[in-house]
């Protein structure tokens, strides 16, 4: 049976981790594709660990694994750990918050299967019904996407999207060094340099506020642009 690996990097997500796991558990994938859920706890200091372990114990029918990083190393480091552990045919990134809807896995899966794509991104901007929490995040995302298209000759609408979907074997072949939020621009840059045209599909988006735990800030946007520039001109 084909399988989708779902990597969840989590840091202090006690308020939402169980809710997102429940949503993933309820999501039925097309073609009877199975799910492998990989929770990578980046050294949380709240009850994230306890809640994950309780959920796993309560759902023995799920193929779910919990991995605790030795220390808080950053989202990129957590994702690299998850990629190394993934055994599915495909891999998708799932933030531990509730901004993205796991039901959209099927939209990405169908595009990948029907067109034999190695990489598919879920675009928040291709769905006109989506709202965005802060103007600065909206502008920042658009700017990073513009720079990506300019440097790498893509036609993306949403480079910083969480929902990045990959053929697992292809993803594992990409040498990543990211530690923090620069995972997105690094993996995008290195996919582009492999000559891959990245296709997008519309997805749903339910933004959370800073008070609700949103962690990214303007410095991460600058780092994203620097990362895109660095890998564009690096051999």
The H-assigned helical ranges of 59-127 are 75-85, 105-115
What totals of helices (H) and strands (E) does the chain contain, helices first?
8, 7
* Tokens linked to 225: 């642009």
Angle between helices 75-85 and 183-192 in degrees, nearest 10: 60
Can you tell me the distance from the alpha carbon of 20 to that of 92, in angstroms, rounded to the nearest whole number? 14
pTM of the model: 0.94
pLDDT in tens, the chain (235 residues): 899 999 999 999 999 999 999 999 999 999 999 999 999 999 999 999 999 999 999 999 999 999 999 999 999 999 999 999 999 999 999 999 899 999 999 999 999 999 999 999 999 999 999 987 677 778 888 999 999 999 999 999 999 999 999 999 999 999 999 999 999 999 999 999 999 999 999 999 998 766 555 556 667 788 999 999 999 988 6
Counting Cα atoms < 13 Å in the Cβ hemisphere of 192 gives: 23
């Amino acid at each position: 049976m084909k399988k989708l690996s779902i990597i969840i990097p989590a840091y202090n997500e006690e308020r939402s981790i169980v809710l997102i796991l429940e949503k993933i558990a309820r999501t039925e994938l097309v073609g009877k594709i199975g799910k492998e859920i990989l929770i990578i706890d980046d050294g949380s200091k709240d009850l994230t660990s306890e809640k994950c372990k309780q959920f796993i114990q309560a759902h023995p029918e799920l193929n779910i694994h919990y991995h605790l990083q030795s220390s808080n190393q950053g989202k990129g480091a957590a994702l690299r750990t998850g990629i190394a552990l993934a055994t599915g045919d495909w891999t998708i990134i799932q933030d531990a918050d509730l901004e993205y809807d796991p039901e959209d896995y099927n939209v990405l899966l169908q595009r990948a299967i029907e067109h034999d794509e190695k990489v598919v991104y879920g675009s928040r901007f291709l769905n006109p019904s989506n709202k965005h929490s802060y103007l600065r995040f909206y502008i920042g995302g658009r700017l990073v996407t513009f720079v990506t298209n300019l440097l790498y000759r893509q036609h993306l609408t949403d480079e910083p999207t969480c929902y990045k979907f990959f053929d697992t074997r292809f993803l594992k072949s990409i040498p990543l060094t990211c530690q923090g939020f620069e995972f997105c621009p690094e993996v995008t840059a290195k996919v582009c340099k492999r000559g891959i045209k990245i296709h997008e599909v519309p997805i749903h988006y339910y933004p959370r506020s800073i008070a609700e735990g949103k962690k990214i800030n303007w410095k991460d946007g600058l780092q994203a642009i620097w990362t895109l520039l660095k890998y564009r001109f690096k051999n």
